[in-house]
Amino acid sequence: MTKLSPFRYFKTSPEIIRLAVMMYVRFPLSLRNVEDLLHERGIDVSHETVRFWWNRFGPMFAAEIRKNRGNRMRAYSNWQWHLDEVFVKINGETYYLWRAVDHEGEVLESYVTKRRDRKAALKFIRKSMKRYGNPEVIVTDKLRSYGAAMKVIGNLARQETGRWKNNRAENSHLPFRRRERAMLRFRQMRSLQKFAAVQSSVHNHFNQERALYNRNNFKLNRAAALAEWRQLCSA
């Protein structure tokens, strides 16, 4: 059966749509910033069009990236995870964004809840393990909800806590915080969950860890990531 293109009902070329979505999700730009940058390239679109493209195609692109990277990650050692949560304000109410990161800085899962009790931690950990398997070590902060949740699962002996051990997860929040400031925060819990999931997948795709490579290898990896992005959701 032939796979139908998701761009078949759009007059705009898929290359322009992918470029607009990448600029909005990857960089700390507002919708109007993306509109202005596209205008400089001779592309006349409204910021509302960019909003529609991001809402329509962002989850599609993120799902394909997650599928491709997930298949490759299962072939490597899954020995250590870092779990952490941050406060996010939505209309004056406090919500919690949970994040699971592996030992190389790959964001595995993002999950938004209203509470950070045992029930929320248990659902988050089970959701992560269902997709990526069971790690050998789980590094967390000293929030008691983690210990209570892992006691239910039965892997309490694999938990590790420490003052600086969880810096990997703490640093993974920085790209999201930059995007949050550019977007002037969020209005709904659903939009926060949607953007956090898409943004983490796109960040993983383009995060080349340039400090670990020389300049030539970094340019090759960057070009490969961009070429793979240009083929997303192609029929």
Instruction: Please check whether residue 7 lies inside any domain of the structure.
Output: no
104 and 53 in one domain? no
Cα 223 from Cα 202, distance rounded (Å): 15
* Cβ 112 vs Cβ 133: under 8 Å: no
| Residues 103 and 38 placed together within one structural domain of the fold | no
- Which strand (E) or helix (H) includes residue 167? helix 167-172
CA distances from 166 to 74, 108, 113 (A): 23, 15, 21
**Could you tell me the residue range of the domain that residue 44 belongs to?**
14-73+208-229
Q: Say which CATH number the domain at 181 has.
A: 3.30.420.10
User: Is 6 inside a domain boundary?
Assistant: no
Domain count of the chain? Answer: 2
pLDDT tens-digit series, residues 95-141: 999 999 988 888 889 999 999 999 999 999 999 988 888 888 999 99
**What is the mean predicted confidence (pLDDT) over 15-31?**
94
Q: Same domain for 173 and 213?
A: no
Of the chain, the percentage scoring pLDDT greater than 90 comes to: 56
Range in 20-29, 40-49, 172-181, 195-204 the model is least confident about: 172-181
Same-domain check for residues 68 and 94: no
Task: Say whether both 124 and 107 belong to one domain.
Answer: yes
pLDDT band at 163 (very low <50, low <70, confident <90, very high): confident
Give the bridge partners for 90, in sequence order: 93, 186
Q: Confirm whether 112 is domain-assigned.
A: yes
Percent of the chain with pLDDT over 70: 95
